[in-house]
Amino acid sequence: ETGVTQSPTHLIKTRGQQVTLRCSSQSGHNTVSWYQQALGQGPQFIFQYYREEENGRGNFPPRFSGLQFPNYSSELNVNALELDDSALYLCASSSKPEETQYFGPGTRLLVL
């Protein structure tokens, strides 16, 4: 296993609600990237955090936001949930932004 953990494992929300997903990076890793994977598709890059600063963002609206803490763990927040936000949310950590990423088990979010 990679040492990357995510919580919760599963979550059910309703439209309009807000959700916070958490990721603990592998020991020694200071970079965390978040991805959204819809059913049957490849992961899509949301954003990356490096040393507590956002270090790049994919094509996601501002209601997707994040944080990285001094211990390099990270949160993904999604406001005003929509049905299409139902997906597997993956975080991946690396020792530097340019190094190989290792994925956590993901959080499965269902929006009803």
Write out the residues near another protein by the rule CB under 8 A.
31, 33, 35, 41-45, 48, 50, 55-56, 58, 88, 90, 94, 97-106
Report in angstroms how near the CB of residue 90 gets to another protein at its nearest.
6
Indicate the residue type of 42: G
Report in angstroms how near the CB of residue 103 gets to another protein at its nearest.
5
C-alpha 93 chain-centroid distance: 10
Task: Supply φ then ψ for residue 7, to 5 degrees.
Answer: -145, 150
35 versus 64: smaller Cβ distance to another protein: 35
Report in angstroms how near the CB of residue 82 gets to another protein at its nearest.
22
Q: How far apart are CA 72 and CA 52, in angstroms?
A: 7
23 versus 78: smaller Cβ distance to another protein: 23
Task: Supply φ then ψ for residue 84, to 5 degrees.
Answer: -70, -5
**Could you tell me which of 44, 75, 73, 49 has the C-alpha nearest to residue 61?**
44
8 versus 16: smaller Cβ distance to another protein: 8
